[in-house]
């Protein structure tokens, strides 16, 4: 590509005719974890993503080139239902280096993320890629985590983020250890482990513990497949491990019962629920039939309480399933949460699920499940041995209308 052509490069959304050149650029720039033609095609046509390419402009009066030359590209993934975007990949051809094309592509990626309502743009980069790190730092990106062995034999990764909208907002976010669930039915136990690890530095999440808590907290049956964790079951598991716990729910019915048709299975779920209530009563835990407002959640988080919240997965994945997350903080516009359910099939990583920003309105809509609009929060406080043995009398109450 000539020097004159490099000066006049335009950045635009990728088209189908760009695929061959994109694959060629990918193979020239990267020697591992390359995107295939099928990957690029999926990103361009179906994914919740923006694929931008840098090409010479089409001369005025001429039609688009069948197979245009591509000097670079940037790929941004968007997290449905949230205000988070991730720069998945950025590449510049050897012939275009030294022309600030990487900076231009990054600027275009940020502009696209802003246009789609993202408040943060995050990325991962090899810890030894000094050139890329210098670019990100110069553009205001801040490192927030090092991931040992993220690229396998190719080394560690650094995670960076930049607030690309509302820079003056003051966020109150707690440093809660992140844990990714190992099955599609253990979001509840994974979320509970994150909350317990935040409150007790001696507590260590593990795969064995994840499955053990699920066994303790499961409803046994669900619409299909393995049963999930009920709020009362999670509370029992937390209380058993010595944590102060309160359960807030807008219903005293058996959770998730409406999704099961078989009467024998429903009866089993009722028995399980009754057992959970009896154990909570014996553990002096609070069970409150009430809905916590955002202001109440915020006040409790300020006191050091960690909320584990039931949401509907539909707004995140379009799957009608209950899902558990941990709230990590808030500001005037957003609620932040750790979501344990990383979807690697869509090229996601934990970077997309840590401190995920969700607008107050979206959080209000997603924090209810099913036809009954079930709303449940399990509130955890520090273990009794570390909080002055703050035992309370067990009580269930229904607020006066």
DSSP SS3 for 284: coil
* Domain-wise residue ranges, the chain: 3-168, 187-397
> Do residues 86 and 74 make contact, with C-beta atoms less than 8 angstroms apart?
no
Q: Where is 296: in which H helix or E strand?
A: helix 294-302
Residues 74-103, mean pLDDT to the nearest whole number? 95
Residues 94-115, mean pLDDT to the nearest whole number? 95
Topology annotation, domain 187-397 = Cathepsin B; Chain A (3.90.70)
Nearest by Cα to 191 from 380, 388, 397: 380
Q: Regarding predicted confidence, which is higher, 122 or 397?
A: 122
Residues 21-42, mean pLDDT to the nearest whole number? 95
State pTM to two decimals. 0.89
Structure tokens at 266: 């429903």
> Do residues 273 and 344 make contact, with C-beta atoms less than 8 angstroms apart?
no
Among the ranges given (54-68, 107-121, 256-270), the one the predictor scored with the smallest mean pLDDT? 54-68
pLDDT for 392? 37
DSSP SS3 for 194: helix
Where does 280-331 show beta strands of DSSP type E? 286-289, 306-312, 322-330
Among the ranges given (60-64, 74-78, 175-179, 390-394), the one the predictor scored with the smallest mean pLDDT? 390-394
DSSP SS3 for 100: coil
Give the span between the Cα atoms of 129 and 272, in whole angstroms: 53
DSSP code per residue over 126-144 = ETT-HHHHHHHHHTT-EEE
Q: How far is CA 355 from CA 84, 185, 257, 330, in A?
A: 9, 21, 31, 10
pLDDT for 395? 33
Residues 342-361, mean pLDDT to the nearest whole number? 92
CATH number at 3-168: 3.40.630.30
Structure tokens at 4: 């004159």
Q: How many percent of the chain have pLDDT more than 70?
A: 91
What rounded mean pLDDT belongs to the chain? 90
pLDDT for 62? 58
Give the span between the Cα atoms of 154 and 151, in whole angstroms: 5
Q: Regarding predicted confidence, which is higher, 326 or 255?
A: 326
pLDDT for 401? 30
């Amino acid at each position: 590509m000539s020097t004159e052509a490099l000066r006049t490069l335009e950045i635009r959304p990728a088209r189908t005719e760009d695929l061959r050149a994109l694959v060629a650029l990918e193979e020239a720039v990267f020697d591992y974890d390359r995107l295939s033609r099928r990957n690029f095609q999926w990103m361009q046509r179906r994914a919740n993503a923006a694929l931008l390419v840098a090409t010479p402009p089409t001369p005025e009066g001429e039609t688009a080139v069948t197979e245009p030359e591509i000097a670079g590209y940037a790929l941004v993934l968007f997290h449905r239902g949230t205000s988070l975007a991730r720069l998945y990949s950025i590449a510049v051809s050897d012939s275009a280096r030294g022309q600030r094309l990487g900076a231009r592509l990054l600027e275009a990626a940020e502009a696209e993320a802003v246009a789609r309502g993202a408040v943060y743009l995050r990325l991962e980069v090899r810890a030894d890629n000094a050139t890329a790190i210098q670019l990100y730092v110069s553009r205001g990106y801040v490192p927030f985590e090092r991931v040992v062995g993220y690229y396998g034999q190719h080394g560690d990764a650094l995670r960076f983020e930049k607030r690309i909208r509302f820079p003056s907002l003051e966020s109150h976010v707690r440093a809660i250890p992140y844990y990714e669930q190992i099955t599609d039915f253990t979001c509840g136990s994974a979320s509970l482990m994150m909350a317990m690890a935040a409150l007790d530095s001696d507590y260590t999440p593990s795969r064995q513990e994840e499955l053990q808590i699920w066994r303790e907290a499961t409803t046994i049956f669900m619409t299909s497949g393995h049963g999930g964790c009920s709020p009362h079951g999670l509370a029992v598991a937390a209380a058993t491990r010595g944590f102060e716990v309160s359960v807030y729910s807008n219903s005293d019915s058996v959770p998730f019962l409406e999704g099961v048709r078989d009467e024998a299975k429903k009866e089993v779920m009722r028995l399980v629920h009754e057992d959970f209530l009896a154990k909570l009563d014996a553990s002096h835990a609070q069970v409150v039939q009430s809905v916590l407002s955002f202001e109440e959640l915020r006040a409790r988080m300020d006191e050091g309480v960690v909320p584990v919240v039931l949401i509907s997965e539909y707004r995140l994945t379009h799957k009608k399933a209950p899902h558990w997350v941990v709230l990590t903080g808030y500001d005037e516009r957003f609620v932040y949460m750790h979501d344990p359910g990383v979807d690697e099939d869509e090229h996601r990583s934990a970077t997309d699920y840590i401190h995920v920003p969700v607008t107050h309105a979206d959080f209000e809509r997603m924090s209810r499940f099913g036809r009954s609009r079930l709303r449940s929060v399990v509130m955890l406080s520090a273990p009794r041995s570390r909080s002055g043995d703050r035992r309370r009398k067990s009580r269930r109450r229904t607020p006066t209308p």
